[in-house]
A and B are shown apart, each in its own frame.
Chain A
């Protein structure tokens, strides 16, 4: 069964450093998402991406964040200058169509630790 993959599984970085989290969505999917989950808390929407542009973003997704689909397969989330409060699990998700089924397929996540 096709699956969403994410690398790395764990990233440790120092405050102020840039990080890039990588995702490979399922190949025939058209809609891509990044979510954040602080330990023990709910899944928070960050951004959605369709047709090579951001379709919607949350209040969390400020100027420090950017997304890109550089080569038609990878989907990346960049955090320019990490803060301690960026420590969380970051999930990538993809979805095949806009209409039903609305199922989003989640990757295994990248645990980001900012020290």
Chain B
């Protein structure tokens, strides 16, 4: 069945360093969504990407959707301690199912 792989599983950075997480799907996705989950919290929607090659920015966060619509990345420039949490990509499978990647847990050291 369709899988969504995400790497790395964990990333430790010093505050001010950049961070990137990568998401790969075994099949083409109609769209991809990114969520952030703070420790002890629930997933919160960050953004959706729909078009091939799409790039979107939210302040220090840059999201990309691959040309083949099978991979995506989230890049954070100059991390801050408020960026701590787990970042998940998610894509639709079939009609009504959403598959989440395993997530990348970001640790930021002040």
Contacts and interface: CB of A to CB of B under 8 A. Distances in A.
B88 interface: yes
A70 interface: no
Q: In which size bucket is the chain B interface?
A: 20 to 34
Interface string B77-102: 00000000000101010111111111
Interface stretch (B16-24, B38-46, B52-60, B64-72): B38-46
Nearest to A109: B42
B45 A104 contact: yes
A93 to B, nearest CB: 8
Interface in A60-115: 91, 93, 100-109
Nearest to A103: B45
B25 interface: no
Given A91-B42, A100-B50, A43 B88 contact: yes
A102 B103 contact: no
Contact of A56 (B37, B44, B95, B103): B95
Nearest to B97: A56
Given A42-B102, A42-B103, A100-B50, A48 B45 contact: no
B69 to A, nearest CB: 14
B48 interface: yes
B28 interface: no
Interface of B: 31, 33, 35, 37, 41-45, 48, 50, 88, 90, 92, 94-103
7 contacts: A33-B98, A42-B100, A42-B101, A43-B88, A48-B98, A55-B95, A101-B48
